A = this chain, B = another copy of it.
């Protein structure tokens, strides 16, 4: 499939190379804005003069030490075909402590995968002082392992940290540490397109004191797990339950941050959806039942307007939804394609139902790191079942998006979004 369309993609690639460079530079600038000038003046890691003074600001990749497993500790790698998401972990993990009383960030270490030892009053266990990221590394057709847009995850992680009263850090330093972790466990990156190694950077508040206050100690750690396909290896379209009585996020809250608090309260709603025979929850908001997210994904709708033109629409970053890396990548791809307008605006259930009744609703799909894109086949809403023909078209947009992203992720085409790790 990839070979036949390769030439076409290469041509497209040249067209938007310039735009991508701009984007990449903008990302890098955003990280720089978050850091003091003194840190930016000298990025050479062989210079020791900041070592003692800047641990409040960031840890450094150059300080990373690695303690490898002994050969008998190495575990057997599972068959990717049988892999359930998030059940098997690699041999090593990354740990970086932060202790305000000890001057801030401590030296990063890569160690054999192990349990965490936490004070039973640790703030993470009582007040959900916790946040995470989801990223993926892919083994390319050329054997090179690539990580997808780590800068975006690191920028978002710092935003989440800021909002949780947890320490921020230089995202570039963390990316370098993650690449080293990937090198150490490179044999865990599965072979075969569709599979990948999922990285879970996590930041938790570990102060062993009760009281709803900022945590003066924190642990930034990363674990990794090989994954086949997020949805049990099944590419089928999913069914949704849309019940306006369940609200995921609200203005003035933290729905746009990747913090633990956005997830725990959704479990009972997800269970409720399953009990009604649906696979995921479509999260609505407001009296006009705006679509916000689906499960833990962003949402896209492809439809035909009153003039017969086709449009892709996704809700805007209003504070209610997570600024997804895949969401942003899809928007950027479509802007490069210049084949149909890409709108960032509210979608209401009223609009969706009207489009569907007129046969103008073409596709509905979720987007996220775990699944890339996930087509939607139906929505149960107000006791009615809305059928959506997402998977019934020839060359649907959701599949084209997935193919394009996979071309980049698996190294079929060179692209700045996919950063080689060695």
Q: Which of A16-24, A198-206, A310-318, A330-338 binds B?
A: A198-206
A52-97 residues at the B interface, CB under 8 angstroms = 85-87, 89, 93
**Do B267 and A264 touch across chains, with their CB atoms under 8 A apart?**
no
Among B93, B128, B252, B267, which residue has its beta carbon within 8 angstroms of that of A260?
A: B128
**Do A126 and B265 touch across chains, with their CB atoms under 8 A apart?**
no
**Do B213 and A270 touch across chains, with their CB atoms under 8 A apart?**
yes
Does residue A125 face the partner (Cβ distance < 8 Å to B)? yes
- Most B Cβ at <10 Å: residue of A86, A212, A253, A265: A265
CA distance A87 to B121 in the complex (A): 9
Oligomer: number of copies: 2
Does residue A35 face the partner (Cβ distance < 8 Å to B)? no
Instruction: Encode contact with B along A259-298: 1 for CB under 8 Å, 0 otherwise.
Output: 1111111111011000000000000000000000001100
On chain A, which size bracket covers the interface? Answer: 35 or more
Among B118, B250, B270, which residue has its beta carbon within 8 angstroms of that of A115?
A: B118
CA distance A264 to B85 in the complex (A): 27
CA distance A113 to B263 in the complex (A): 30
Chain B residues, Cβ within 8 Å of A250: 247, 250, 253
Additional 6 contacts, C-beta under 8 A, given A125-B130, A128-B263: A93-B120, A115-B117, A164-B268, A246-B252, A247-B253, A261-B265
Can you list 21 residue pairs at the A/B interface with Cβ under 8 Å? A85-B211, A89-B120, A89-B121, A93-B120, A116-B119, A116-B120, A120-B202, A121-B200, A124-B125, A126-B130, A128-B261, A130-B264, A164-B265, A212-B267, A212-B295, A212-B296, A247-B252, A259-B264, A259-B265, A260-B260, A261-B264
